[in-house]
Structure 1
């Protein structure tokens, strides 16, 4: 049952994606009061000024009583040299813009009761529209009317969002620290087991921990990946039901993982050894306190999981603990299994990201749809459009399968919603299993410099840097395994080959093989 749950979780934690934002800011003032609101524009069609100071200011004319699909009934003297706000509907954005432009308006705002989308037009009409055009929420306009009345001066500007955001460095730090700690923990557990086996008369009698799972057969690895494929497809078709199952499992698994991590730290520093007994039951004060803390953190996350402003901190904390515990408990017995598993998961990742859009009805990859939820708008609009709800909505449930860090440079300007850099747990766990094997192999060969572990960690770091570099250059989210798997596998193989230990590295250690084949 435990193995099935782990496979179920691992099958949906692979992709990170980013949206190329085209939000802008509507600044309204009356000389005494200022307010700013979210608007959506098309920077390749009607570019806006990048700063408030450089933006031109115009008086706003309220024409929400009309759709402005034609100029009948509108006096040019009323709108000339001013910004207009009209209602959305009945005709295209470009048609409204051309009518406003012919009347002498300088800016067109389209108020919408529906989801705000990046405005577009036929290619032949792009060059005809020479005034700024943007969509705003109708409820925002009504609020502005209550604050300013009809005396509104407006400016439209679009602060540039730097592609290189500090959140990338934070995400890189989270990934590499998790990989290093997980590999180190796995190696130390292996050392403890070997020392325990030696004290009992030899390594051949060493037994795996009761909670440890081994992947040692190529056939079982293929079966493992096939189960992941099946479960991912099930998640795609039954997302609205299974998402709550995954959330519940994550709360339990992450609380248990966080307890395991904190307990190992306390054990290492020798903290909290007080125990007491109740009716022949022995209890550790440390364990009770840690259990209460870990369960509380998981429950708080479960209750406030859709609160963007701060809940990402708890999700990342639980995610780090989950990844660490996964790397410690799932053991790959030799490099051959590492090659097979990581290669199959690379194919799995690429297929469900790049190939499945050709088969889905909405053109969204199965991986993105599952990882980001039904409202994965960045993918639905090919990564260069945005969708902003016109009215407050209950957030759709998303799987807790990614590390999330807000884009700090855009924090103060997020009137349309917070923007996040994300990294799938799978991009940490999958290469992390190889890092953990390298760490255990260093223990088996008694490598004082931990050459395999260190080199694999460096390869992972370089692979992550390559991933972020390609993402920044292309402006699109990248399946990180496409870079991480080759970097880590090739580096580990080169180190083993240069040291003349490839045969042992490929096959694992003698006592490991004996244990795995023992009845």
Structure 2
């Protein structure tokens, strides 16, 4: 379902037959004595030498561009050596120890190794670590090209490793978006349901023909869905570069439909554009749709395509992705309906196991020791396309840290961590309407979701590794809803969603409909009543 992405400072990498701890840091480049400069991501091993946490405490030293060499033999050392400077050399042909040893005995105060491959921590053995007293770090080839283009020959560099904050403020935005989507989607689903029942009672479904039909989820559908999720996740892990574009195209189409569904209730209140297009034989237009529906469709497609074209613009494309993602989630929450609490429990428990397995168990099964869920959600670091899956809410990190420059500049929350608990919240709201309970189930389940999300963030900060959010969201929402049902002594009806009868001669209840007496009362709607007007709007 998409694990929430951690923000660890230290990453565990495997090299040869030993484990090496590598850390992300920053290399601050500037021209001469200029105060302005630019930070670049570096990957270093503190066992060679530690880096200061503050830029003001880091020594600014002249760089020596030796990227035409790999610095593996004394003949590669220029005349005069590297006195009080930090050479930049290419990776390859010899060990990290041989490179840094040559640099150190020739006066270097540090070493930057430029790598065209994936950044890995520069390793060595215990005796080599004790012999070397200068820092050594890896810099990407792409960053080296940018440095050469941006700064002159007299460029200076200062290497440092600021401490990663325990919690990033972007978590507040993710929390508000996730809880808001669940609350609005669950409320909308219940309100739409009561309107639909009202229209059926009045035998007037003309206004409903433009609304999407709901889909009741069955146990067989749940099993098929989970099998498809497992298969797709495994295929993405092994064939990411081949399937990522198909996923992006699917998201563009689904998000456009979701955005249309969310905007249509507002657009149809506008008194303009009701005229229909002339008769024609065009596909999807032969029924002469209204002009405003065509304009809205064109707008939604344009927004989706804009995101598809500029999806890798990190400065602003994430805003569009989140907006489209929220619209998609709202559409799914009002379209997919769990008919009983029994179905809710089955779906949430099965996906709970699915999430935990692919985050915590799969690292024991893969050769690299990586979690399949986290690796796919964030995009494999060795992907040739460098594309990211769009099925997540993403917010850039708001603090200054090495991860902002390196390969984890965003915090992520998968759509599944919104949709799965959101379906239970929607069920609770429909049950509130059925039982006329002042939305106690809806409010309790929504609060439970918010608490579960907060626990997820705390687990991220404490464990410093990717977390299956459903591990915390499922118990918080299921147990909260169950507790309310037990407290109100309504568990049998809440579990089955049907079979409850009160005063059978006058009033009957069924989850497929609402109180018939309520419908008779509902026929005299007062548009001035804000709540009744809300039902009519949606």
Query: Residue 343 of structure 1 aligns with which residue?
Result: 349
- Alpha-carbon distance between aligned partners in 1 of 2:115 and 2:231, rounded to the nearest angstrom: 41
Asked if the contact 1:463–1:483 (Cα under 8 Å) also holds between the matched residues in 2, the reply is yes
**2:4 is the counterpart of 1:16:** yes
Match of 1:304 among 303, 310, 314: 310
CA distance in 2, matches of 1:199, 1:328: 22
Residue 408 of structure 1 corresponds to which residue in structure 2? 398
Shift of residue 346, structure 1, vs aligned partner = 0.7
CA deviation after TM superposition for structure 1 residue 143, in Å: 6.1
In the TM superposition, residue 114 of structure 1 has moved relative to its aligned partner by 3.6
Q: 1:331 to 1:129 in 2, by over 3 A?
A: same
In the TM superposition, residue 53 of structure 1 has moved relative to its aligned partner by 2.3
Alignment equivalent of 1:423, drawn from 413, 428, 435? 413
| Cα offset, 1:289, TM superposition | 2.5
Q: 1:488 matched to which residue of 2?
A: 477
On the 8 A contact 2:111/2:134 being kept in 1, the answer is yes
Local SS of the residue matching 1:410: coil
1:398 correspondence with 2:404 = no
List gaps (5 residues or longer) in structure 1: 1-12, 378-393
Closer, same or farther: CA 343–36 of 1 in aligned 2, 3 Å: same
Match of 2:176 in 1: 173
Q: Deviations over 1:40-87 (max 9, x none)?
A: 132633332233322112333344454334556758964343333333
Alpha-carbon offset, residue 322 of structure 1: 0.6
Q: Aligned Cα RMSD in Å?
A: 3.2
Shift of 1:304: 1.8
C-alpha displacement of 1:409? 1.8
Q: Does 1:319 align with 2:325?
A: yes
Secondary structure of the 1:408 match is coil
Question: What 5-or-longer segments of structure 2 have no aligned partner?
Answer: 10-23, 280-286, 500-508, 514-538
Q: Which residue of 1 aligns with 2:296?
A: 290
1:30/1:148 contact within 8 Å kept: no
Change (3 A) 1:122 1:512: farther
Name the SS for the 1:85 alignment partner: strand
Cα distance change, pair 446–401 in 1 and its aligned pair in 2 (3 A): same
Which deviates more from structure 2 when the two are superposed, residues 284-293 or residues 252-261?
Answer: 284-293
Query: In structure 2, how many angstroms separate the alpha carbons of the residues matched to 1:209 and 1:276?
Result: 19
Deviation at 1:199, TM superposition (A): 3.2
**Counterparts in 2 of 1:47-446, with a 5 A limit?**
47-64=50-67, 66-71=69-74, 74=77, 78-137=81-140, 141=144, 150-200=153-203, 211-216=213-218, 218-267=219-268, 270-272=269-271, 274-279=273-278, 281-375=287-381, 395-410=385-400, 414-416=404-406, 419-446=409-436
1:186-219 Cα deviation digits (max 9, x unpaired): 1101221232244349xxxx99976211014x34
Deviation at 1:106, TM superposition (A): 1.7
Bigger mean CA deviation after superposition, 180-189 or 121-130: 121-130
CA gap of 1:439–1:67, structure 2 versus 1, over 3 A, is: same
Q: TM-score, normalised by structure 2?
A: 0.80
Give the drift of 1:412: 11
- Contact 2:64/2:88 (CA < 8 Å) preserved in 1? yes
8 Å Cα contact 1:42-1:134 kept in structure 2: yes
Cα distance change on mapping 1:129 and 1:76 into 2, 3 Å: farther
Residues 276-285 or 436-445, more deviating: 276-285
Indicate conservation of the 8 Å contact 1:255/1:295, yes or no: yes
**Aligned to 1:155, what secondary structure does the other structure show?**
strand
Alignment coverage as a number of residue pairs: 479
Distance 1:362 1:67, change over 3 A: same
CA distance in structure 2 between the partners assigned to 1:277 and 1:64 by the alignment: 67
Bigger relative CO (Cα 8 Å, ≥ 6 apart): 1
**Are the structure 2 counterparts of residues 334 and 376 from structure 1 closer, same or farther at C-alpha, using a change threshold of 3 Å?**
farther
Q: How far apart are residue 291 of structure 1 and its match?
A: 1.3
Q: Name the SS of the counterpart of 2:92 in structure 1.
A: coil
User: Distance between the aligned counterparts of 1:86 and 1:318, measured in 2?
Assistant: 44
Q: Cα offset for 1:165?
A: 1.6
TM-superposition CA deviations, 1:145-182 (whole Å, max 9, x none) = 67765534332233333232221111111100100110
